[in-house]
Chains A and B, each alone.
Chain A
Amino acid sequence: GENVEQHPSTLSVQEGDSAVIKCTYSDSASNYFPWYKQELGKRPQLIIDIRSNVGEKKDQRIAVTLNKTAKHFSLHITETQPEDSAVYFCAANTGTASKLTFGTGTRLQVTL
């Protein structure tokens, strides 16, 4: 089955700096890669996703890149703000039911 690895597990940046979180996946058949943000005690929220037919997608301060050959994808957050502090999960789809396999999460802390 699919295996998703995520790095780093924790990331601390100063406000205004950029943050990058990286994930790798194992199943070459995976074609959908969402990113979720989860604040403490809250539900995971979909913040951006990318499909395998594109290499990059951007939404304001958030961007995701995908390298199908290397089987890795990354989340980029620019001009970080304190409200960006949360746990971020990458995921990759697998199987006909479109189930997702999640990475282990990255705890992002944006300091003033």
Chain B
Amino acid sequence: GAVVSQHPSRVICKSGTSVKIECRSLDFQATTMFWYRQFPKKSLMLMATSNEGSKATYEQGVEKDKFLINHASLTLSTLTVTSAHPEDSSFYICSARDGLAGGKQFFGPGTRLTVL
């Protein structure tokens, strides 16, 4: 149980394009999902909290117009990196909170974004 998938696993795009990343909870419903960014050999940096049916809550310093989050169902949240630039290249990981498991967070496998 408590499986979270994330797609795509890798994406390479040209500067200026937009990239959408999907995060799905496969065997549980998640009213709350989280999006993190992880630089090489660094910790997980929370970008935003994705709330089903309402607007996402962004951490300080994260541009909401740059990183669009949609949480339209209890099993799917999407992160769209708009007008991507090379500095947006990173490992993006989502997690989903399982309310029936005491609120534990389970992570997706991550998406490695490379912007050329």
Using a CB–CB cutoff of 8 Å, the interface residues on chain A facing chain B are: 32, 34, 36, 42-46, 49, 89, 97-105
Contacts and interface: CB of A to CB of B under 8 A. Distances in A.
Interface stretch (B13-21, B41-49, B69-77, B80-88): B41-49
Contact of A97 (B51, B108, B109): B51
A99 B46 contact: yes
Interface string B14-35: 0000000000000000001010
Which of A43, A45, A102 has the most B CB atoms < 10 Å from its CB?
Answer: A43
Q: Which 4 A-B pairs have the closest CB atoms?
A: A43-B107, A102-B44, A97-B49, A43-B109
A101 B49 CA distance: 12
Contacts of B106: 46
26 contacts: A32-B103, A34-B104, A42-B109, A43-B93, A43-B107, A43-B108, A43-B109, A43-B110, A46-B106, A49-B104, A89-B44, A97-B32, A97-B49, A97-B51, A98-B32, A98-B97, A98-B103, A98-B105, A99-B46, A99-B49, A100-B46, A100-B105, A102-B43, A102-B46, A103-B43, A104-B43
A99 B51 CA distance: 12
Contacts of B43: 89, 102-105
B76 to A, nearest CB: 18
Contact of B93 (A44, A46, A99, A103): A44
Contacts of A49: 104
Given A43-B110, A46-B105, A98-B32, 20 more contacts: A34-B104, A34-B105, A42-B109, A43-B93, A43-B109, A44-B44, A44-B93, A46-B106, A89-B43, A89-B44, A97-B49, A97-B51, A98-B105, A99-B46, A99-B49, A100-B34, A101-B46, A103-B43, A104-B42, A105-B43
